[in-house]
Structure 1
């Protein structure tokens, strides 16, 4: 843009600015002219903490927490504009209880929050109570308001004074009673500590902590309300003594330790019929170890209860075992409803009879799905899946699943138009809710460990190019340590790929002809591939904890293919001595991938999401490069969104420089042995379920060994200078159960250019049709990119 154009643009904007200001003023006034006579619009409350001894950060935290307690809340606003109130006002009073005006006023809009609804004294008392509960016993609170243009704001001032701290914590005498003795033994992990500020919230947490410890020691009928923490603030010097006691009125049964007596299981409890479904027809009762099972249909083999339930007859009641048992039962995936009740035993003193009621899911199910998909390579298509499941295949809660699928991807416009992709195939899997292993593996997790066996086949046809037959068999284990971490170990993972119907056009591109040079990367796509070996992955996440400011996701995977076999056979592909099995050269490599994501909560409805993805595959022994199925790709809707899917790299290699390339040439997928990807994205809620994003993506792939057909593709110490970078904006419709996403991106760094000329900021020109066609990429997808 020239100086003259810039000046002209500024001049035009300066003319529009007063008009925009007038519109905003008119918008604001329109929200007050509809108010009742003599009343004002309440625009919020503000709390000021006046204390020079408190750190600024501590004062701000207190003010923010107290402002959240003020009632009522003002009308919601976006960018300072109360849009919902504006909709309420312009809709006017509806003449009927339906129609557009009624919908606009009552569904989209919200009524004004009036200052007459604000009780200043009540809010001042709330602030005073907050301060005292935090140990500021000598706090003083005042309330006032300021008004302008029929808008009023409540102003509260708190002078907290000095905060009281804990001088001493006294627990019950360990010799007074068995209950007092157990409580006394919990003091080592007490939340109440000498020198810490007095805080009523911490005292409540301490009562819950002690109660949890007691529940795990058999005190079934105890609860936190039976505990009292007496506070003595007369000890002086702004200190308090805390004494933990059991209330005298605590009932006797809450002071007793209870044990498990009878364990009764109803595996076919009906939610519809309730207690009427609990019947004892002849032959319906089965005794297995400590369990009494009432199931005339013999729906499940009794051994699953022994593997799932942690309680046994004579055990002291333990809340942890109670919850673990319920979690495991739900985690089986067989029951849609699990209910547990305890009743005092008639035959054993301080005994509990445990009753378990299970409502099974339908034993068999059939699901049909039709999916639509699109990607940044201009491929659009659909896929149909038919899934059949048996949730109790061998009466041990085994899940047997069979799936058949078929799909089509078509490029309507672009260089690969006509090279459509067809996919058909099927998969059968069997999951056992236990470890099947010659080695005994102890398990005490709340989550049921699983053994999984899978067999699958897929036929993929790329029109005018080739077809691939892919067979895969896996056997392995899945288990979770807790709700944050999960493991998957496949002790056997075999993948065999056999090409078919390779066309002359593709053979010319791969092996060369009079006008084309051979392309090793394309040759590998149609080679027979035999990959076998163990794989392992570990996943950790705490993103489900919405209250955390920082949350994380990490997934690491390890793939060891053909290593032991290659060592035994002495394979050396580089030295010209590759080995084969079943007349196929098997792959030998070590591959690792690490996907780390961080989510920073910036405020209500806004966050910063970042991702680092690093992958390294090292071919050796019987391989000089990773097999095509295990190579890395980059670019596309969930990767670097400013570039077509699988079009970046490897390294600084540019397929456009290939001899014979034209705008009508087929664009092959680019793959590599090493991958680095960096993403960061600012996300903000614009309105209700509409969210926006601004993002920057960077990354590339590289080869481990040199490929003469792809110059610049090998990894080197200059790899950071070969990163592709793109940026853009996004719009998302977050419907809770579904997220629809549109991202618009463009490149700012192109790694295939010569060094020193890879940044392209000076070439960005949204007004030019040619630039837009060559650089802007639209990504329509389901779900967030990471």
Structure 2
């Protein structure tokens, strides 16, 4: 292991040197490689905390961009150079040079005067009307850096804002938006805010029926004030604004083409006489591919209503959200009366369906340490099962995992297979009227499945599940998932003598294969604003409530402590209340840096017919998405010391009824697609009740002293379609050590092979941990 690491480091260092030397070796004579453009801010009037963000934002404007770098190397330039001159426009060498490689960006490609004007213009748009920019070039070993020094001077601020409009209906509509203006006296002048103000007014007018109005019909004049660095702003309607942009419009007829294809030769407008009229809508669907009521329910507009952008977007969102259409296009057409234009619009909706049936096959390979395996998933879908945009899905899957090295143990190899059927309706199906929102498509979902798991040398499990519930979005930030009923049934089968003997020695192992029967509602609520790119602080919250057999257990007066424990289908039914909360906060600290933090907690309270949560509902800790200094399912519960059992070093998963976890990490970009992170994690799991077989595992008021702590660093490769993550972590606090010896700072020794082998944990995963 140590020799391999040394060899890898040597190879990496050699590549660094090779790539570094070759970056300038092939440059034309008297040319220099342009490696960096930087902006320095020379100002006594800008607060210190704004200097770096302003400098970084200005550097993003500089053109051209230097060659792409990864950890200081320029691999694309290197490949361009070693490809040489291709003999033709085909072949490997041409592909390597022109498709993969990147030609050198030369200093002669840099137009300093253009960049100076670009930076000066941007500063003026930010309110620095008398900004100055100069530049200088530094050359070292044929590598050139251009430094731009910007002197912003004093920023101009808004003195007053006047909505200079007439008393027409349009003028009154614009005047009514004044109180919500983005332009306020005392704030710095900013061209971006002026553009956003025009768009804000236009959006407000669109929601008042002014379909043909646009931001270009507004002008905001700027007049500097003579007695200071201030400006007066005047919001006005342009004189050349057309008449139709000055009046609100109403919806006339609504035409729907549910089975429109692009091969029909363009969008055609129907006559009411050739369409089927249903609930105020005209349908052009001779083959009756969709039921009328499903599409009518998705329409927000009604004949005679005022046009609004909100209803326009909500209708499109409803149709797209049904999940059955590849393309959704709409068109609004002026209605003429006696040859004269009116203030009415005919609405046309052209809907191009997706293929009704589809088959997808996925073959996956996976490897972790000495474990290797594969999995196949076959998924068949029908996107219009009952002609109302229902999604019917059948999935068949199977996979295996086997141990190819190390000491083979009872938990090392398994195979599994299963089938799942799901039926999703794009509406609420309930015995009463329930429409939680019309902004998004709600869904009613039925799911049923079966799985067989065979750990060949230990045991087998048969699992069956069924659920029925609803999913809906309240708005862009709030989402609800309510399973009115979820039933899960697990039965063990074919327990081997070896595993039976191990259970006799280690009774807690029995919990993993106990017959399980859970039934009850599950509710999850999610709220997040992480899609907002304009905020410095964003968050994500998910809370869940899981109930099983609460009312039934009370009716039966179940009490396991008193010997009253009941079964359903030869399994003790689980009676519990489980609550979970996961809160994440993200703070941008630069253009390419973020501090991400997470606090999560889970609590399971079992009573009546149960003493602890069923195995599949319990919490675990450790692993690539948890406390990364400990491997998955190896931490806890509490201060219990994990043990290896038997000659084959069998290690049992550690689970608990209660979980607390805290994480924070600093993420930043190194270069191009390469990012890095430094992190610290803390947490543990505990049992609800004391267990004589697991001393120290029960939750108590002393839980803080049983928290594990780990820290580490890692690299992330952002390939746009996925993020590949590799983290190295080490424990800082080990909860199962004796009191007073749990912090292990004094034992850290990176030079020791034994310490590295026993303490450094490498986690390879896809995506961020949170």
Could you state the TM-score of these two structures normalised by the residue count of structure 1?
A: 0.87
Map of 1:194 onto structure 2: 185
| Aligned match for 1:335, one of 325, 328, 344 | 325
Alignment partners' CA distance in 2, 1:465 and 1:479: 42
Distance verdict in 2 for CA 1:161–1:629, change over 3 Å? closer
Alignment partners' CA distance in 1, 2:334 and 2:578: 58
Map of 1:182 onto structure 2: 173
Matches within 5 A, 1:631-650: 631-650=618-637
Alignment partners' CA distance in 2, 1:654 and 1:251: 79
Check conservation: 2:56, 2:591, Cα contact below 8 A.
no
Map of 2:555 onto structure 1: 568
Map of 1:463 onto structure 2: 456
Alignment partners' CA distance in 2, 1:83 and 1:380: 32
| Aligned match for 1:312, one of 284, 288, 302 | 302
1:716 equivalenced with 2:707 (yes/no): no
Deviations 1:93-140 (A, max 9, x none): 445445565455444543343333333333333333223323333444
Check conservation: 2:442, 2:472, Cα contact below 8 A.
yes
Alignment partners' CA distance in 1, 2:715 and 2:127: 46
Map of 2:402 onto structure 1: 410
Matches within 5 A, 1:478-557: 478-510=471-503, 512=504, 516=505, 519=507, 521-545=508-532, 548-557=535-544
Check conservation: 1:685, 1:692, Cα contact below 8 A.
yes
1:755 equivalenced with 2:739 (yes/no): yes
Deviation of 1:242 (Å): 1.4
| Aligned match for 1:241, one of 227, 232, 235 | 232
| Aligned match for 1:392, one of 384, 395, 400 | 384
Alignment partners' CA distance in 2, 1:627 and 1:289: 51
Say which SS state the counterpart of residue 168 (structure 1) adopts.
strand
Map of 1:435 onto structure 2: 428
Deviation of 1:197 (Å): 1.7
Alignment partners' CA distance in 2, 1:138 and 1:563: 72
Deviation of 1:224 (Å): 0.4
Could you state the TM-score of these two structures normalised by the residue count of structure 2?
A: 0.89
Map of 2:213 onto structure 1: 222
Check conservation: 1:375, 1:779, Cα contact below 8 A.
no
Deviations 1:600-642 (A, max 9, x none): 5555665554433321111123221111221112233433344
Alignment partners' CA distance in 1, 2:117 and 2:715: 44
More displaced stretch, 590-599 vs 355-364: 590-599
Check conservation: 2:516, 2:574, Cα contact below 8 A.
yes
Distance verdict in 2 for CA 1:782–1:75, change over 3 Å? closer
Matches within 5 A, 1:14-29: none
Say which SS state the counterpart of residue 561 (structure 2) adopts.
coil
1:72 equivalenced with 2:56 (yes/no): no
Say which SS state the counterpart of residue 57 (structure 2) adopts.
helix
Check conservation: 2:70, 2:672, Cα contact below 8 A.
no
Check conservation: 1:642, 1:776, Cα contact below 8 A.
yes
| Aligned match for 1:475, one of 468, 471, 476 | 468
Say which SS state the counterpart of residue 70 (structure 1) adopts.
coil
Check conservation: 1:379, 1:411, Cα contact below 8 A.
yes
Say which SS state the counterpart of residue 325 (structure 1) adopts.
helix
Deviation of 1:45 (Å): 4.1
| Aligned match for 1:363, one of 337, 352, 356 | 356
Say which SS state the counterpart of residue 288 (structure 2) adopts.
coil
Alignment partners' CA distance in 1, 2:378 and 2:149: 65
Alignment partners' CA distance in 1, 2:376 and 2:81: 48
Say which SS state the counterpart of residue 525 (structure 2) adopts.
strand
Alignment partners' CA distance in 2, 1:539 and 1:641: 25
1:354 equivalenced with 2:344 (yes/no): no
Map of 2:616 onto structure 1: 629
Alignment partners' CA distance in 2, 1:559 and 1:302: 38
Check conservation: 2:269, 2:348, Cα contact below 8 A.
no
Alignment partners' CA distance in 2, 1:421 and 1:459: 11
Alignment partners' CA distance in 2, 1:121 and 1:687: 27
Map of 1:3 onto structure 2: none
Deviation of 1:428 (Å): 1.6
Map of 1:296 onto structure 2: 286
Matches within 5 A, 1:667-706: 667-683=651-667, 689=673, 695-706=679-690
Check conservation: 1:615, 1:674, Cα contact below 8 A.
yes
Check conservation: 2:19, 2:75, Cα contact below 8 A.
no
Alignment partners' CA distance in 2, 1:704 and 1:121: 70
Map of 1:577 onto structure 2: 564
Check conservation: 1:235, 1:241, Cα contact below 8 A.
no
Distance verdict in 2 for CA 1:110–1:737, change over 3 Å? closer
1:263 equivalenced with 2:261 (yes/no): no
Alignment partners' CA distance in 2, 1:79 and 1:460: 45
Matches within 5 A, 1:724-739: 724-727=708-711, 730=714, 734-739=718-723
**Which segments of 5 or more consecutive residues in structure 1 lack a partner in the other structure?**
1-11
More displaced stretch, 360-369 vs 332-341: 360-369
Map of 2:127 onto structure 1: 135
Map of 1:321 onto structure 2: 311
Deviation of 1:316 (Å): 0.9
Map of 2:3 onto structure 1: none
More displaced stretch, 477-486 vs 233-242: 233-242
Check conservation: 1:374, 1:781, Cα contact below 8 A.
no
More displaced stretch, 766-775 vs 210-219: 766-775
Alignment partners' CA distance in 1, 2:718 and 2:406: 31
Alignment partners' CA distance in 1, 2:288 and 2:59: 60
Check conservation: 1:445, 1:482, Cα contact below 8 A.
no
Alignment partners' CA distance in 2, 1:731 and 1:139: 40
Distance verdict in 2 for CA 1:766–1:353, change over 3 Å? same
Deviation of 1:700 (Å): 2.1
Deviations 1:392-420 (A, max 9, x none): 12211111222222222223334553543
**Which segments of 5 or more consecutive residues in structure 2 lack a partner in the other structure?**
1-5
